[in-house]
A and B are shown apart, each in its own frame.
Chain A
Amino acid sequence: MHSPLATDRHALRVRGVAKAYGGAQALDGVTLNVEAGTIHALLGGNGSGKSTLIKILAGVVSADSGQLVIGGVQREAKAQTPAHARAGGLLFVHQQQSTFPQLSVAENLVLGGRYETGLAGRIKWSALRRRAQRVLEQYGIDVDPRTELGRLNPATQTLVTIARALQDREEAFGGVLVLDEPTARLPRREVDGLLANLQRYAEAGQTIVYVTHRLDEVHQVAHTATVLRDGRAVASLGRAQFDRDELVTLIAGRSLTAPTRPTSGSSQDAPAAEVVLEAKGLGIDAEPLCLRAGEVVGVAGLIGSGRTRLLRRIFGLGAAAHDQVSVSGKQVAGSSVRAAMRAGIAYVPEDRTADAAFADLSITRNISVADLGSYARWRGFDQRAEKARAAALMTSFQIRGRSAELTIAALSGGNQQKVVLARWLQRRPKVLLLDEPSQGVDVGARAEIHALIRRAVDEGAAALLVSSDFAELAAVADRVFIMRNGRIVTEIRASELSEDALTAAVYQHGAQQ
């Protein structure tokens, strides 16, 4: 299976690659080796230089120094071009999928290549379908090529994207496949299927560089790993050396203590605290859903189980006619976002770019937008107070940006998310609804976000936290609701809460009710 060219058993070598953006050293002499037919995990926080390294491999950013050896061919890293990357067999599959959900799987596989056409330019649909069938079988994807891609689950869509990238190799599993966080948006069960496929590809000889924030996946599939921090490769590890705590420490450059949760018998003590949220008919078996001051309540469930919809109904979006939400015993009048906000409810939506960030407005304006009324004066808008508050929040929320007048788009994902949190927490909400607040955010920012949530809750709020990451829920939540088919079916209490218990509860069919 291995290429005869590869007298070197390494499919990819990176030697001393450096890159500076002006004064900042994004990469500072990074060296890493990826053996052919293995899965190599590339780890690191935001700003560690991961993306820069990938861009250099792809030839879209030119390095300052160093060499690349791809499939036995050595080249100065600064001379790398997209054409060289393609010729060397480097394939990239990015987080943002370049697929067409409304077209069939077969068409998605052929796009970018050529449609076979017959008379009068007619597309030979049956030939197309047969070819697609072959590709799908080769890469172990069990779907009908005529299915509309958007109807498949997200993990299968990712597999189709990978198959599309791989299909045109001379050998089925040649070259180096670079996967940039393919699982960031996938729920756990789907991830397992995807990872199993990757393992099969590696066994067949495929070399894979796997970028991820999810450390459990590293344990599951990677043979070797490199950890980048501040532009340097701080560790190169073999499978035997993978240790979760060790990896976190390497990535963060400091040991992160998980935010502390009141441990002993907190669920027994909880009834003493005030009920801040009561939502009729939304709890287990159409009982009321209740949140108490000081608790973070998790929500787990597969994609499509109704987690987001639950939060939106509480926030007055698309609520059913009989929904009744009370905050601190007072019923929210009418169902609208404004009524929910007045009652003290805050909502951080899942898709930051589409639903939360005002990309071309300044950080200041992104923060003040949820509380504009408080700056209205008879003589006009109090811009000084607005700026002062934004500056204070940037400091206390550790938002790292040069100035509050920069557009929010200039910040990294984690810092953008902290801006969105600051926007809501400045209102001192009683109920905090959070939909995947730490998705696609590096380990450090994630810990900061968790600490901010805990701080708000300690001051008397209650939080409802939706997450696909069970490790996060187990670490942060006091108890967790499990959702299935649009309803909360059960609750996992603090005493039983663990990653395994969540996995079991979410995937178990017909769990005890």
Chain B
Amino acid sequence: MIDPVPTPVRPEPDRQPKARRRSRHALLGFLEAYTLLILLVVAAVFFSVYGKTADTFPTAANLQILVSSQAVTAIVALAALVPLVCNEFDLSVGAVTGLSAVMSASLLSDSMNVLLALAVGVALGVAIGLVNALLVTRMGVNGVITTLGTATVLGGVVVQKTGGIAVDSNIPKAVTDFGSLNALGIPRVAFAMVLVALVVYYLLEHTPLGRQIYALGSNRAAAELVGIRTSFVLAATFVLAGGLSAVAGVIYVARAGGADPGVGEAFTLPALAAAFLSAAAVKPGKYNVGGTLVAIFFLAVLNNGLNLAGAPPYVTSYVNGAALVVGVALAASLHRQRASTGRRATAADTEAV
């Protein structure tokens, strides 16, 4: 190995301010990553001691409801997260959840084998994901437009299939038990949520495909030039989003003991909001699994607590909307501050070279 040029001797800058700047930089980094988690804990502690909710909030029953009610939304959010990492918005996640719920529920009502009925529901989601993927990668249609289109069509399919009436007769007990019972004091659906979260985490962080998804989100042209099959990766994210949304749909059937035709669309915005907010927590600047879960439960604790405190229902909308905007704005401002102290620290290192 040859040594190209001797490294010049750096002038020694005074250490003290540099060290202080670094620690300030580290503090800002910590705040940026964990502000949302800290707020989640603060909100939970507050509702545990606040007079109106101290008796109801920190009870096992309430916390079980809180967790199980968020399991479906959390899985839909994880579904939306995967394409979001590539900077693609999948607006059809809620509609796919709704369709898979309605289809599985009606197959179960017709006394089909339970596993088969659920499998059909999930397969349907994968198929719709594939349609989205082909429209985006082969036809070159913008992802937002594509998924808005499929979501609208699916809404129609659901109404045609159900005639607008909820499908809830004859759902097998095994299914509803899964949705309503606890294991070890924890709702069974929470295990499903954790399992899905682990799978998505593993996929994004511990497989080459996950790295490629992040690379694609960072710079598509460069990704192409390092041999990443960008169309394939992009397509995979839409297929995964479809499949995961459908999993959320069958879990919804278990939770609700049936399927309401209007329910799907209601998941889309909260799920996308949580996925988007994930870039403001745990791994700042990156859409990530941990951040998505923190965002979901932060909003859930706020809403649950306010509910118990007797706040009128419309307050929920105010809170959800404001939390999204404030959360993202706060993270952005912390990021800017940290970047500027970071740049100075790096400048201190490299200017002298």
CA A279 – CA B46 in complex, angstroms?
71
Tell me, yes or no, whether B2 is within 8 Å of chain A by CB. Answer: yes
CA A489 – CA B206 in complex, angstroms?
49
A301 CB to closest chain B CB (Å) equals 22
Q: 8 Å CB contacts to A: which residues of B218-237? A: 218-219, 221-229
Mark interface residues in B1-26 (1 if CB within 8 Å of A CB, else 0).
11011111001011111100100000
Q: Is the CB of A256 within 8 A of B5?
A: yes
Known contacts: A23-B348, A448-B4. The answer to whether A423 contacts B221 by CB under 8 A is no
Q: Is the CB of A47 within 8 A of B353?
A: yes
Mark interface residues in A269-293 (1 if CB within 8 Å of B CB, else 0).
0000000000000000000000000
Q: 8 Å CB contacts to B: which residues of A328-374? A: 337-338, 341, 347, 349, 354-361, 365, 368-370, 372-373
Q: Is the CB of A375 within 8 A of B208?
A: yes
CA A375 – CA B208 in complex, angstroms?
8
Hey, which chain B residues are within 8 Å of A259, CB to CB?
Answer: 4
Q: Give the bracket for the number of chain A residues in contact with chain B.
A: 35 or more
Tell me, yes or no, whether B327 is within 8 Å of chain A by CB. Answer: no
**Residue of A47, A380, A455 touching B1 (CB-CB under 8 A):** A455
Show 24 residue pairs from A and B whose CB-CB distance is below 8 angstroms, ordered by the A residue: A21-B351, A22-B18, A22-B21, A22-B345, A23-B13, A23-B14, A23-B18, A23-B21, A25-B351, A26-B347, A254-B6, A256-B5, A341-B227, A358-B218, A369-B228, A370-B226, A372-B211, A380-B202, A380-B206, A381-B205, A381-B208, A398-B4, A406-B346, A411-B346
A428 CB to closest chain B CB (Å) equals 14
Tell me, yes or no, whether B352 is within 8 Å of chain A by CB. Answer: yes
User: How many residues in B have their beta carbons less than 8 Å from beta carbons of A?
Assistant: 50
Binding site for B on A (CB under 8 A): 21-26, 47, 49, 230-231, 253-254, 256, 259, 315, 317, 337-338, 341, 347, 349, 354-361, 365, 368-370, 372-373, 375-376, 380-381, 383, 396, 398, 400-402, 406, 410-412, 415, 423, 444, 447-448, 450-452, 454-455
Tell me, yes or no, whether B350 is within 8 Å of chain A by CB. Answer: yes
Q: Is the CB of B2 within 8 A of A451?
A: yes
Hey, which chain A residues are within 8 Å of B343, CB to CB?
Answer: 410
Among A317, A372, A447, A454, max chain B CB count under 10 A is at A372
Of all chain B residues, which has the CB nearest A351? B221
**Residue of A254, A355, A373 touching B5 (CB-CB under 8 A):** A254
Of all chain B residues, which has the CB nearest A231? B351
Query: A-B pairs with CB below 8 Å: how many?
Result: 145
Q: Is the CB of B353 within 8 A of A21?
A: no
Among B6, B219, B343, max chain A CB count under 10 A is at B219
Hey, which chain A residues are within 8 Å of B172, CB to CB?
Answer: none
Known contacts: A23-B17, A358-B215, A375-B208. The answer to whether A47 contacts B350 by CB under 8 A is yes
Q: Is the CB of B5 within 8 A of A354?
A: no
B208 CB to closest chain A CB (Å) equals 4
A338 CB to closest chain B CB (Å) equals 5
Tell me, yes or no, whether B212 is within 8 Å of chain A by CB. Answer: yes
CA A357 – CA B221 in complex, angstroms?
10
**Residue of B17, B18, B212, B353 touching A372 (CB-CB under 8 A):** B212
Tell me, yes or no, whether B298 is within 8 Å of chain A by CB. Answer: no
Hey, which chain B residues are within 8 Å of A22, CB to CB?
Answer: 13, 17-18, 21, 344-345, 347-348
CA A415 – CA B286 in complex, angstroms?
24
Mark interface residues in B194-211 (1 if CB within 8 Å of A CB, else 0).
000000001001111011
Q: Is the CB of B226 within 8 A of A369?
A: yes
B230 CB to closest chain A CB (Å) equals 10
Among B6, B285, B348, max chain A CB count under 10 A is at B348
Question: Nearest 7 CB-CB pairs, A to B?
Answer: A451-B4, A380-B206, A23-B13, A24-B348, A372-B208, A358-B218, A23-B18
Hey, which chain A residues are within 8 Å of B353, CB to CB?
Answer: 47, 400
Hey, which chain A residues are within 8 Å of B110, CB to CB?
Answer: none
CA A406 – CA B25 in complex, angstroms?
13
Tell me, yes or no, whether B47 is within 8 Å of chain A by CB. Answer: no
Tell me, yes or no, whether B276 is within 8 Å of chain A by CB. Answer: no
Q: Is the CB of B218 within 8 A of A230?
A: no
Q: Is the CB of A381 within 8 A of B345?
A: no
Tell me, yes or no, whether B57 is within 8 Å of chain A by CB. Answer: no
Q: 8 Å CB contacts to A: which residues of B1-59? A: 1-2, 4-8, 11, 13-18, 21
CA A396 – CA B227 in complex, angstroms?
25
CA A25 – CA B17 in complex, angstroms?
12
Q: Is the CB of B7 within 8 A of A398?
A: yes
CA A444 – CA B352 in complex, angstroms?
13
Of all chain B residues, which has the CB nearest A24? B348
Q: Is the CB of B227 within 8 A of A401?
A: no
Hey, which chain B residues are within 8 Å of A359, CB to CB?
Answer: 218-219
Hey, which chain A residues are within 8 Å of B206, CB to CB?
Answer: 380-381, 383
Tell me, yes or no, whether B177 is within 8 Å of chain A by CB. Answer: no
B244 CB to closest chain A CB (Å) equals 20
A381 CB to closest chain B CB (Å) equals 4
Hey, which chain A residues are within 8 Å of B224, CB to CB?
Answer: 337
Q: Is the CB of A356 within 8 A of B342?
A: no
CA A473 – CA B169 in complex, angstroms?
79
A343 CB to closest chain B CB (Å) equals 11
CA A49 – CA B15 in complex, angstroms?
21
Q: Is the CB of A47 within 8 A of B205?
A: no
Among A341, A381, A401, max chain B CB count under 10 A is at A381
Tell me, yes or no, whether B214 is within 8 Å of chain A by CB. Answer: yes
Q: 8 Å CB contacts to A: which residues of B326-353? A: 342-353
B62 CB to closest chain A CB (Å) equals 37
CA A365 – CA B333 in complex, angstroms?
25
Q: Is the CB of B346 within 8 A of A373?
A: no
Q: Is the CB of A452 within 8 A of B4?
A: yes
Using A23-B21, A370-B227, A412-B350 as known contacts, list a sample of 16 further A-B pairs with CB atoms less than 8 Å apart, ordered by residue number in A.
A22-B344, A22-B347, A23-B17, A25-B13, A47-B350, A47-B352, A259-B4, A355-B219, A358-B215, A358-B222, A358-B223, A365-B211, A369-B211, A375-B208, A381-B205, A381-B211
